[in-house]
Amino acid sequence: MDRGLLFRVLVSLAMLIVLSLILPVLSAVFIAILLVLVLFGVDCKIPYLVALLFLVLAALFVMLNSNTAAEFFAVWSFYFLAIGLLAQFRDGISVGN
């Protein structure tokens, strides 16, 4: 395994652990996903695809009358839309647009 990749993975796990001790779990996971996106340079389209998947799951759970699960997936869909927007902002800054 590449040493740089191993270092980024360990930093990501350490950040998640530290953030989960300081913040509520939902906030810690959101910030950890955002940091992993920045550290690994993930394509900004991936969070949008995850958001779309969660939105479809939310609609399915609404049809199944499971409102708690539908709300969970709808909230996470919004979070991934926000992460995608921040990733596009990051890409715009790195390109210099």
**CA 46 – CA 14 distance, rounded (Å):** 23
**50-71 per-position pLDDT tens digit:** 899 999 999 999 999 999 989 9
* Residue appearing with tokens 């993930």: 42
Instruction: State whether the Cα torsion 87-93-95-97 is positive or negative.
Output: positive
What's the confidence (pLDDT) of residue 95?
A: 65
The reply to whether the predicted model has a pTM over 0.95 is no
Domain boundaries, the chain: 1-41, 44-97
- Vertex 9: Cα angle to 3 and 11 (nearest 5): 100
Helices (H), the chain: 3-22, 25-40, 45-63, 67-95
Question: What confidence tier does 7 reach under pLDDT thresholds 50, 70, 90?
Answer: confident
